[in-house]
Amino acid sequence: MNIQFWGGARTVTGSKHLLTSGKQRLLLECGLFQGHRAEAEHTNRNLPFKAREVNWGVISHAHIDHVGNIPNLVKYGFRGPLVMTQGTAALARLLVEDSAHIQESDIRYLNKKSRERGEPPKEPIYTVEDAEESLKYIEGVPYAKPRKLGPFKVVLHDAGHILGSALVDLEAEGKRVLFTGDLGRKKMPIINDPVQVVEADYLIMEGTYGNRQHGDYQDVDTRLAAVVNRVYGRGGRIVIPAFAVERSQEIVYTLNRLRQNSRIPDVQIYVDSPLASRVTEVYRNYPQYYDEEAVAMLNGHKFLFDFPGLHYVESVEESKALNQSHEPCIIISASGMCEAGRVLHHLKHSVGNPKNLVLIVSFQAENTLGRRIAERQPVVRIYGEEHALRAEVEVMDEFSAHADHDGLVQYVRGMDVARLKKVFIVHAELEAAEALVEPLKALGVREVVIPKLGEEHEL
């Protein structure tokens, strides 16, 4: 058996790892590559292997960098099942369709510009039709139930990262390979802790935060309550840019708990992202994935994602109306890095007023508006116009859904290290991956590899 790393190698985006046993191929993940436009377009359109020669796909979870390129996989000839948990299947359907709509509207805008310059029109990376076609190949499976795919036996375990996320425990040719997907953290809201798998010959581990430590989620109530009370007290509004999947639900869930415990006032809260609202519906429909606290809340006849004063905004008119009011409020809106979407309108109307606050609750990539706000740059550009950033900015990394440095090392410590022949670190910038090498060797891991794009290893 061998493995080839075709994405998420020395970078955090576009995950794709191809396992080959004899003439049969299993693709772990089919993520969309995100980055500069020309590079992203080229990488996503041109799969580095023959899609029709891939027999099966396994997807760890419903983030676009793990599942977002299945439309191209199917377009170029893949016909096998795409195996994932039922929760991931439900979320992936929403995400892939939403991504296709974005690709189409992006290209319409670009083609309008290129027509003005007399240039030929371009095609989207994939269309809504391509997306719908690819969704037919999705197969949802429960956790812990083996699924035989030719020579591969695959079992999915809870990765504790987002709803339905999985660790992929795979066996072939008498060898056991564990792929972490994105590894979650212990004691996070709503979902369960990651399952500790002990036995494996090879480990493919994510290393996104290999060189960082996060604040503890246990402290979130105190910090978030302080922020809400402070801004409410001065009559301001809070804008929270948040990803539609998991982060929006976690914020709502946490605000709900603060409200139930009377730690925050009766402030109006708006979730202004149609995708986040649809994703929340999936969260409501899959209580089998909840942790004890969430189940207890449900059993106490309390809704997790609904409470008085919380509104899910649908129409553009309602969204715009929020900026006509001067009442204190909390607006949770996408996109999470402030690159597109409704959050831009709210920021445009809010950043100039020192009574307001922008709450950053997730990772902000370089060259994004979210990053500039997180860095508290004095002037930020929104829709091509400069705005003075006078609002207060608060950064909370306690919500991170990824294991940090210690979390990753502890996960390996929980394994039978003597059995591990090799650990491959993927889904990490080089610096983050390198920070894990020595700590893993100190645990007794014999070999740690940080594969380059296209690198092949015999297992």
Residues that bind Zn ion (CB under 5 A): 63, 182
Name the residue nearer to Zn ion (CB basis): 95 or 197: 95
Cβ atoms within 10 Å, residue 277: 16
CB of 246 to Zn ion, least distance (A): 8
What's the closest the beta carbon of residue 61 comes to Zn ion, in angstroms? Answer: 6
Count of C-beta atoms within a 10 Å radius of residue 311: 14
Nearer to Zn ion, 328 or 370 (CB): 370
Q: Pick between residue 143 and residue 312 the one whose CB is nearest to Zn ion.
A: 143
Rg (CA), the chain: 22
List helix spans (H) across 286-380.
Answer: 292-299, 316-321, 343-350, 369-374
Give the whole-angstrom CA distance, residue 313 versus residue 352: 24
| Cα separation, 40 vs 366, whole angstroms | 16
DSSP string, 189-251: SSBPPPP-----SEEEEE-TBTT--PPPGGGHHHHHHHHHHHHHHTT--EEEE--TTTHHHHH
Rounded to a whole number of angstroms, the minimum distance from the CB of residue 181 to Zn ion is 7
Q: How far is the CB of 328 from Zn ion (least distance, A)?
A: 33
- The residue among 63 and 346 lying less far from Zn ion, judged by its C-beta, is 63
Query: CB of 434: closest distance to Zn ion in angstroms?
Result: 21
In three-state secondary structure terms, 187 is coil
Q: Is residue 457 within 8 Å of residue 232, measured between CB atoms?
A: no
Q: Are 191 and 61 in contact (CB under 8 A)?
A: no
In the complex, the smallest distance separating the C-beta of residue 255 from Zn ion, rounded to whole angstroms, is: 23
3-class secondary structure per residue, 62-108: CCHHHHCCHHHHHHCCCCCCEEEEHHHHHHHHHHHHHHHHHHHHHHH
Q: How far is the CB of 59 from Zn ion (least distance, A)?
A: 11
For Zn ion, give the closer residue by CB, 256 or 273.
273
Give the closest residue to 96 by CA, choosing from 169, 166, 44, 49: 44
> What tokens does 59 get?
């997807």
Of the pair 10, 63, the CB lying nearest Zn ion is at: 63
Task: Name the nearest CA neighbour of 252 among 399, 62, 402.
Answer: 399
Taking the complex as a whole, how short is the minimal distance between the CB of residue 1 and Zn ion, in angstroms?
26
CB of 185 to Zn ion, least distance (A): 12
Enter the tokens of residue 186: 């212990």
Q: Which residue's entry shows tokens 């979870």?
A: 61
Cβ proximity to Zn ion: between 91 and 459 the closer is 91
**Closer residue to Zn ion, CB minimum distance, 63 or 405:** 63
Identify which of residues 182 and 404 has a Cβ nearer to Zn ion in the complex.
Answer: 182
Handedness of CA 19, 24, 29, 33 (dihedral sign): positive
